[in-house]
Structure 1
Amino acid sequence: MSTSATVAAIPSSPSAASDVLLYTTLEAESPNNTNPNDHNTIDPSYNYPIWIPWAICGVLFFVIFIITSIAVCLFQDRREKSFIALVTSIVGISLVVFSIFVVPVDIFNVSQTFDPKENSLVIKILYYSIYLILLIFGSVIIPFAYFWYEEDPKLGENEDDDDKLFHTIKFTLFTFIAGILIIIMGLVMSAISGTVADKNSVTDWLKQLVDVEHFGDRAIRFIVGCLAVVGCFGFNIYTAYGLSALPIGLMKRKYLTYKDENVVDRRADEVDEEIDLLQKKYRMKGTSMNREDQKKYDRLRQEKTELENTSIRIERSKKSIIAKLEPCMYPFKLLIGFGILVVIIFLLISLLINLIYRTVTSKCGIACGFVTEENCYFNPLDLLLTYSSIIFPIDYIILALIICLFIWASMVSLSTIGLRFLCVKLYKLKVRSTVPQGLLTSGIFLMFIMLATSFMLPSFAPVYTTFGSQKYQDSTGAWKQCALAAFNFTEHKLSQNVNSVTIGVPVFSIIFYFENWLFVLCFIIGFIVSIFKKPASFEEADTYDHDEEIMKRPLRGRSYKEYATSSTRSSMSLNSYNAIN
Structure 2
Amino acid sequence: MALIQTSLIWVAYAVAVVLLLIIATVFVFIYQTPRDRAVSVTTVCIFTMSALLATVLLMPVDIALVSSTSNSAEGRKKDWATPNEIDSIIKTLKIVYYTLYSLDALLCLLVVPFTYFYYEEYDEEATEVGDQTLGTRLWGAFKYTIAFIILVVAIFLIGFFVPYAKQAKNDGRLDLDYFQRLLLQNRGERALSFALGLLMTLGTIIYVLYTGAGLALLPVALIKSAPTVSAPTLAANTASQLEENRERQRQLDGRNEGRENGLESRDRRELEALIREERTLIRRERLAAESSGEDRHWLIKAWIKVEAVFRPLKLIGGLLLLLLALFVFVSMFITAVDKAKNSICGAHCGYILGYLNIFQPINYIFVKSSKVFPIDYILFLLLVLFLFSASVVGIATVGIRFLWITVFKIRKGHTSPQALLMATVMLTLITLAINYSVAMLVAPQYATFGHQTFCDRAPRHPGEQPDCTHNHKAIRPCTEMSKNAVAKDVCTPSVLSTFINGVTIDFPFFGLIMFWAQFAFLGVYLVVFVATLFKTPKMDEDQLDADLEEDEEEGLLASTGKRFGATWQDITGHARTPNYGAAETNGERA
TM-score, structure 1 as length reference:
0.69
Q: Distance in 2 between matches of 1:193 and 1:398?
A: 37
Q: Quick check: 1:483 aligned with 2:479?
A: yes
Q: Distance in 2 between matches of 1:81 and 1:47?
A: 45
- How far residue 167 of structure 1 moved from its aligned partner, in angstroms, is 2.2
Equivalent position of 1:224 in the other structure: 196
Matches within 5 A, 1:366-385: 366-376=347-357, 378-385=359-366
Equivalent position of 2:76 in the other structure: none
Contact kept? 1:82, 1:153, Cα under 8 Å: no
Matches within 5 A, 1:23-62: 49-62=5-18
Q: Distance in 1 between matches of 2:89 and 2:308?
A: 52
Q: Quick check: 1:520 aligned with 2:516?
A: no
Deviations 1:140-186, CA, capped at 9 Å, x for gaps = 21111110111115495453234433321110112221343355457
Deviations 1:178-226, CA, capped at 9 Å, x for gaps = 34335545766x539769xxxxxxxxxxxxxxx9982522211111100
| 1:92 counterpart letter in structure 2 | T
Unpaired runs of at least 5, structure 2: 70-79, 168-182, 250-274, 294-303, 458-467, 550-584
Q: Distance in 2 between matches of 1:340 and 1:424?
A: 31
Equivalent position of 2:252 in the other structure: none
Equivalent position of 2:116 in the other structure: 146
Q: Distance in 2 between matches of 1:500 and 1:543?
A: 48
Equivalent position of 2:577 in the other structure: none
Deviations 1:314-346, CA, capped at 9 Å, x for gaps = 245578669999999766222111111111111
Q: Please, which moves more after superposition, 494-503 or 129-138?
A: 129-138
Equivalent position of 2:448 in the other structure: 466
Q: Distance in 1 between matches of 2:29 and 2:306?
A: 25
Relative to structure 1, the CA distance from residue 121 to residue 342 in structure 2 (aligned partners, 3 Å threshold; closer, same or farther) is same
Contact kept? 1:103, 1:494, Cα under 8 Å: yes
| 1:496 counterpart letter in structure 2 | T
Q: Quick check: 1:89 aligned with 2:45?
A: yes
Q: Distance in 1 between matches of 2:497 and 2:305?
A: 49
| 2:216 counterpart letter in structure 1 | S
Contact kept? 2:36, 2:416, Cα under 8 Å: yes
Equivalent position of 1:176 in the other structure: 149
Contact kept? 1:432, 1:543, Cα under 8 Å: no
Equivalent position of 1:387 in the other structure: 368
Across the two proteins, how many residue pairs are aligned to each other? Answer: 451
Q: Distance in 2 between matches of 1:510 and 1:251?
A: 37
Contact kept? 2:286, 2:547, Cα under 8 Å: no
Q: Please, which moves more after superposition, 448-457 or 320-329?
A: 320-329
Contact kept? 1:433, 1:546, Cα under 8 Å: no
Contact kept? 1:377, 1:383, Cα under 8 Å: no
Relative to structure 1, the CA distance from residue 185 to residue 544 in structure 2 (aligned partners, 3 Å threshold; closer, same or farther) is farther
Deviations 1:467-517, CA, capped at 9 Å, x for gaps = 011122222542332223122211111101111101111112211111111
- How far residue 417 of structure 1 moved from its aligned partner, in angstroms, is 1.9
Q: Distance in 2 between matches of 1:354 and 1:417?
A: 28
Q: Distance in 2 between matches of 1:370 and 1:425?
A: 36
| 2:411 counterpart letter in structure 1 | K
Q: Percent identity?
A: 28
Contact kept? 2:354, 2:479, Cα under 8 Å: no
Q: Distance in 2 between matches of 1:233 and 1:348?
A: 18
Relative to structure 1, the CA distance from residue 503 to residue 371 in structure 2 (aligned partners, 3 Å threshold; closer, same or farther) is same
| 1:73 counterpart letter in structure 2 | F
Equivalent position of 1:365 in the other structure: 346
Relative to structure 1, the CA distance from residue 340 to residue 102 in structure 2 (aligned partners, 3 Å threshold; closer, same or farther) is same
Q: Distance in 2 between matches of 1:237 and 1:55?
A: 36
Equivalent position of 2:96 in the other structure: 126
Equivalent position of 1:100 in the other structure: 56
| 2:114 counterpart letter in structure 1 | F
Relative to structure 1, the CA distance from residue 136 to residue 307 in structure 2 (aligned partners, 3 Å threshold; closer, same or farther) is farther
Contact kept? 1:433, 1:544, Cα under 8 Å: no
Equivalent position of 1:36 in the other structure: none
- How far residue 360 of structure 1 moved from its aligned partner, in angstroms, is 1.8
Relative to structure 1, the CA distance from residue 307 to residue 71 in structure 2 (aligned partners, 3 Å threshold; closer, same or farther) is farther
Contact kept? 2:165, 2:505, Cα under 8 Å: no
Equivalent position of 2:434 in the other structure: 453
Secondary structure of the 1:191 match is coil
Matches within 5 A, 1:96-495: 96-112=52-68, 115=81, 116-152=86-122, 154=124, 156-157=127-128, 159-161=131-133, 162-181=135-154, 184=157, 190-191=162-163, 214-253=186-225, 310-316=280-286, 332-376=313-357, 378-458=359-439, 459-475=441-457, 477-478=471-472, 479-484=475-480, 485=482, 486-487=487-488, 488-495=490-497
TM-score, structure 2 as length reference:
0.68
| 1:98 counterpart letter in structure 2 | A
Out of 533, 536, 540, the position equivalent to 1:534 is 536
Q: Distance in 1 between matches of 2:103 and 2:331?
A: 32
